[in-house]
A = this chain, B = another copy of it.
Amino acid sequence: MSELLRGGRLSSSRRDVIKFTSSLASDEKLLKHVININRAHIVMLVENGIIKKKDGSKILRALSDLKNKLSLREDVEDVHMLVEEEVIKSVGLDVGGNLNLAKSRNDQVATAIRMALREELLNIMEMIVNLQEAVIQLAEKNTETIIPGYTHLQPAQPTTLAHYLLAQFDVLERNLKRLMNVYERVNQSPMGAGALATTSFPINRERVAELLGFNGLIENSIDAVSSRDFLLETLAALSIMAVDVSRFAEDLIIWSSMEFGLIDLPDEFTSTSSIMPQKKNPEVLEVIRARMSTILGDFIIASTMLKGLPSTYNLDFQEATPKLWDAAEIMIEALWIFSETVRNIKARKNVMKKPLLSFLTATELANMLVRKYGVPFRTAHKIVGTLVKKLMDEGKTLLDVTPELLMKVSAKFLSSPLHVKVKEIREAIDPASFIMLHSVRGGPSKDEVERMLSIRKNLPNRYRREISSERKRIEDSIDILNSIAESYTSQV
């Protein structure tokens, strides 16, 4: 008999086939939305005189009852059928059979996924903001913590930990913006598209969209049931963020290695050994790094699934949806634990004391000769290059440069050798003054970093408010739906 309930859709009688093709496992996320969609649809049908208010009210009451007690059963094909079955069980076929009047599983599932997804997107955004805050916190403590900046994993120039962290903040910022772009296109309603050709009943698609908190329609009905680009662009945005998060984790794993030793990871985010307490395995960061690959994989899987499909609806779609929830869950968990990790990182001081790192400021010594003594740029570089080579050959560091040495070396390249002051040399080669001098917009100098910090500090709170207000907007729509439904059912 169950086949009669289902818009005439007959599924298999073989258990193994039902289990194989069932989407129930991943439908849990959709359940409450499917119920709300059905409610909004019924309200609209009544408002447009397509079904009788009396019938509508009965269905609405049955749907409200479902909300609290429904659990997913194993032997049903999907959540849409489950809801329909339960409603008919409750109010009978003649009334309950109208639940699917002027709609179809095809538009309903697309709508439900979008509703669940917009919630997930807001959750992810909140987690990004959370990590931004942790980054800001750590940066504020480390505006004077000098570290080597690396290129090719080789030390290149001094910078500060705060400067680095602000870069990570801005990376997260762009990811947030990308998700905001995605959100706009996700939050559009396909309802009313029917199986693919809308319906011959005079429905009001805009009204349903409004009651469900959407900010617009996917207008063309073929597009509405056939397109899953909103799913791909979510996964794409998460994949790009996955690459960024993985690189951030990679930096911290390397910097916490015994050899680099720039930072200490908090004990509870590593595994250690009672016999080798010096060894802290960065397990949390490794798991974060690894899981980011799964998010990228989810995008690829969904793309590959969809790529070969003709229009409009194919059951393959059903297999793509769980990849969305998988990627969202991984990202949310990873951002959470990453925030906790970052908040508890301790920077090591004095990392610039390693002798070889003294040479990181060699370029600045050359720049000083250009700036203060008018030496041509390339000549200045040659002088300093020769100087550095000499020092290294003698096992010395850049701290051993003296005015005399500089005079002697410069004599080879200039007609009149340079007489540079000790203080000028000290200033040029000191990492702290290197950083102070790099005060151009976006640079590592304390002033500039604090300027950037002061602007970024207020952003997380602003974003939290925006996220809250969007959640509120959606809840308000559902509240209106609730009160209309209640007003109906109270009259029955």
Question: A149 and B229: CB pair below 8 A?
Answer: no
CB distance from A224 to the nearest CB of B (A): 7
Picked from B167, B257, B304, B364, the residue with its CB within 8 Å of the CB of A153 is B257
B305 and A319 contact, CB distance less than 8 A:
no
List, sorted by A's number, 12 A–B pairs whose CB atoms are closer than 8 Å. Answer: A7-B381, A12-B269, A97-B381, A106-B151, A155-B279, A199-B440, A200-B434, A218-B442, A220-B442, A236-B237, A275-B388, A293-B305
Question: Is A197 part of the binding interface, using a Cβ–Cβ cutoff of 8 Å?
Answer: yes
Taking CB atoms, residues of chain B closer than 8 Å to A315 are 152, 281, 283, 286-287, 290
* Shortest CB distance A217–B (Å): 7
Q: Does A284 contact B (CB under 8 A)?
A: yes
Given A315-B286, A444-B221, A97 contacting B170 (CB threshold 8 A): no
The answer, yes or no, to whether A242 is at the interface (CB within 8 Å) is yes
Q: Is the CB of B181 within 8 A of A271?
A: no
Provide the bound-state CA to CA distance between A4 and B380, in Å.
Answer: 12
Contact A220 B167 (CB under 8 A): yes
CA of A441 to CA of B301 in the docked complex: distance in angstroms? Answer: 33
Asked whether A303 is an interface residue with its Cβ less than 8 Å from the other chain, the reply is yes
* Contact in complex: A157, B196 (CB < 8 Å): yes
The verdict on A300 contacting chain B, using a C-beta distance below 8 Å, is yes
Of the residues B153, B156, B440, contact of A253 by C-beta under 8 Å? B153
Which listed segment binds B: A31-39, A365-373, A418-426, A472-480?
A365-373
B153 touches A273 (CB 8 A): no
Cβ of A258: which chain B residues have Cβ within 8 Å of it?
154-155, 356
Shortest distance from the beta carbon of A121 to any chain B beta carbon, whole Å: 15
Judge whether A460 is part of the interface by a CB distance below 8 angstroms: no
Task: List the B residue with the shortest CB-CB distance to A190.
Answer: B442
- The reply on A203 being an interface residue by CB < 8 A is yes
From A14-22, A402-410, A461-469, give the one contacting chain B: A14-22
- What residues on B are CB-neighbors of A159 within 8 Å? 196-197, 222
A164 is an interface residue with CB less than 8 A from chain B: yes
Is the CB–CB distance between A313 and B152 below 8 Å? yes
The reply on A116 being an interface residue by CB < 8 A is no
Encoded as 1 (CB less than 8 Å from any B CB) or 0, chain A from 256 to 270 comes to 011111000001111
**Interchain CB contact under 8 A, A384 and B275:** yes
Report the 10 A-B pairs with minimum CB-CB distance, sorted nearest first.
A308-B308, A97-B378, A297-B301, A198-B443, A290-B319, A8-B274, A290-B316, A167-B222, A152-B281, A236-B236
Do residues B305 and A192 form an inter-chain contact, with CB atoms below 8 A?
Answer: no
A154 touches B379 (CB 8 A): no
Which among B195, B240, B309 is the interface contact of A156 at CB below 8 angstroms?
Answer: B195
Enumerate chain B residues within 8 angstroms of A300, measured Cβ to Cβ: 296-297, 300
| Contact partner, A17, options B281, B297, B337, Cβ 8 Å | B337
Interface 0/1 of A44-58, CB less than 8 Å to B: 000000000000000
Given contacts A201-B371, A283-B315, A290-B318, contact A243 B232 (CB under 8 A): yes
Give Cα distance in the complex from A291 to B44, angstroms: 37
Residues of B within 8 A of A259 (CB): 257, 259-261
How far is it, in angstroms, between the C-alpha of A257 and the C-alpha of B144 when the chains are bound? Answer: 25
A13 within 8 A of B: yes
A130: chain B residues within 8 A (beta carbon):
none
Q: What would 19 more interface pairs be, CB under 8 Å, given A94-B376, A198-B439?
A: A3-B274, A4-B378, A97-B379, A149-B197, A152-B315, A156-B276, A157-B195, A158-B197, A163-B197, A178-B185, A199-B367, A221-B444, A254-B254, A276-B360, A287-B315, A290-B319, A293-B301, A296-B300, A297-B297
